[in-house]
Amino acid sequence: MAIQVEGKIIETNAEGFLVDSSCWNDAVAEKLSQAHGVALSESHWEVISMVRQHCDKGNEPPSMRELVKQVRLQLDDSKAKSIYLMKLFGASPAKMVARLAGLPKPKNCL
């Protein structure tokens, strides 16, 4: 499977995760979000950026429990709830955030 962004073909796997994470940029995230029915808002970008920064420090993409913990520590306690993240990213927020952030699927996600 592949997406076209800014005239370039970007390969994704069967689940929509980038094959080469170095291809990620904001335009790729926008295209992936459209393909998965997520309209990105400032709230989405806040979480995506936080997860990318988390992984830039050598960490794995967070599972749901770790994602909630990171939101609590880095963003806002009121946003550190599964319900909030599900409203933004759907039924599997950790998986969708990783996908849109150009990261591999979190280890504990089905």
| Catalytic residue check, 109 | yes
- Please state the length of the chain: 110
Cα–Cα distance, 69 to 64 (Å, whole number): 9
Catalytic residue among 3, 80, 86, 109: 109
Phi, psi of 12 (to 5 degrees): -125, 160
Structural tokens at position 52: 């990318």
Structural tokens at position 27: 């335009």
Cα–Cα distance, 23 to 9 (Å, whole number): 10
Active site (catalytic) residues: 109
